[in-house]
Structure formats: C-alpha cells, structure tokens
Amino acid sequence: MRVAIDTSGVDQALVVLDGRRLLAVDDWVRRRDDPPVLARLDALVKRAAGRPDDLDGVAAARGPGSFTGLRVGLSLAAGLAYARHIPLHLIDSLPILARRAAGGPATFALRDAGRGEVYAWREGEAARRMPADELAEWLPTGARVIVEPAGMLARWSLELAHLEIPATERRPLSAALLDSAIWTFESQKPLRYDEVQALYVQPAAAEERRRKAP
C-alpha cells in the first residue's frame, strides 16, 4: 500500500493505492479550519482497509506552490518515510496540475504565484516564475492551458482567456495525482531523506535584479 500527497496548491488531495489499483482518495479545497493532513491520511488508510504499518511507499508534490502547503506535505511524507523506513519520492506539482485536463494532459500549466506573477510550466521544460504580463509572449497560439485557480487566465490576460481549459473539462486533483504517482513509483528512484527539498522557483523580479547587478 502506497500513499501520494499533494498539498502544494488551493486544491489538495491524498491518494492510497496498491500497485496501479486505487484504494481510496480524498479531495478538498484548502481552508484555514482544515483538519490536519495527518488526520485525513489516517482516516483514508482506514477507509482503504489498511493500517499505517501497511504503507510501503510515499510520494509528495514538491512545488512550486504554496510555501505553507509544501512544508506540510513534504514534512508528512518525510516523516512517514523516516519512521517506517519506506521509499520516498517527490513529484513536480505543475505536471500533476497538467494531468487534470480531461482527454489527456495539458501541455501548459499555470499557477498563481501572487504579486502579479505566475508559476509556469510547459512540456519539456522546467517550471519557472514569471510576470503575468509576459504570458502573451510565452504562450503559443492554440496552447491547451490548465490554470489554478480556474478562471485566472482571463484576469491575467483577457486576450488569452480562450486558451484555458474550462473547469467543466478538468478532472479531480486526486485523479491527476494517481496517474503521476503510478508513473513515479514505477519509473523513478526514491530519494534519501536529506534530499527532500521543496521546489521554490526564483521570483522573476529577483532574477531581473540579479541580471542588472554590476
């Protein structure tokens, strides 16, 4: 029995699986009064007719995303792996988000980074952080874009709004997390505990200052 955790964004999810077989899921929207993720995980493992001792692998989304959410998810994953001596994997968050598109993964994923910036990913490239007003140059005509929160692309650039995959054509985060977890467990090597780090993409403004520095 393995567990996958994604607390990197507004939508959050836990998945319990056995090989490729889904045992139980929990999807929720992040709120201040949420129960602890550990309590959700304990309830989910019980729903899957298992016990914490049955876990033999864990994966967690590593970002980019919410600073607090990443700390919660990665700390939980690392704690489980260390305490139970089980393999630990990390998954980039924006490719998970891209898998929420129905009918096949989106080739572009955007997540609000605050202060007029976005976390941006496109297939074949690493995630970056960029000003929202540069999206018109970065997104090609005809791109299929999944965005979190849904509907934000119109706020960043009204002329690009038609590129966003609508909420009605998005799968639950747990479905995307399940696909990503299966691929990760089957094809990626686990990490050492001291290799667990969140993916914090450098703010675009900071990069600009560094380029202009003498």
Q: What is the mean pLDDT of the chain?
A: 92
Q: Choose the most confident range, by mean pLDDT, from 46-55, 96-105, 193-202.
A: 96-105
The proportion of the chain whose per-residue pLDDT surpasses 90, expressed as a percent, equals 85
What pLDDT score was predicted for residue 195?
Answer: 85
What pLDDT score was predicted for residue 173?
Answer: 98
Strand, coil or helix: 109: strand
Question: Sorting pLDDT into bands at 50, 70 and 90, what band is 32?
Answer: confident
CA distances from 182 to 2, 22, 94, 116, 132 (A): 10, 10, 16, 34, 33
Look at residue 209 and tell me whether its pLDDT is greater than 60.
no
Query: Which residue bears the tokens 């290799």?
Result: 195
All structural domains of the chain with their residue ranges: 2-93+173-200, 95-169
For the domain bounded by 2-93+173-200, which CATH number is listed? 3.30.420.40
pLDDT tens-digit series, residues 103-139: 999 999 999 999 999 999 999 999 999 999 999 999 9
The answer to whether the beta carbons of residues 148 and 112 sit under 8 Å apart is yes
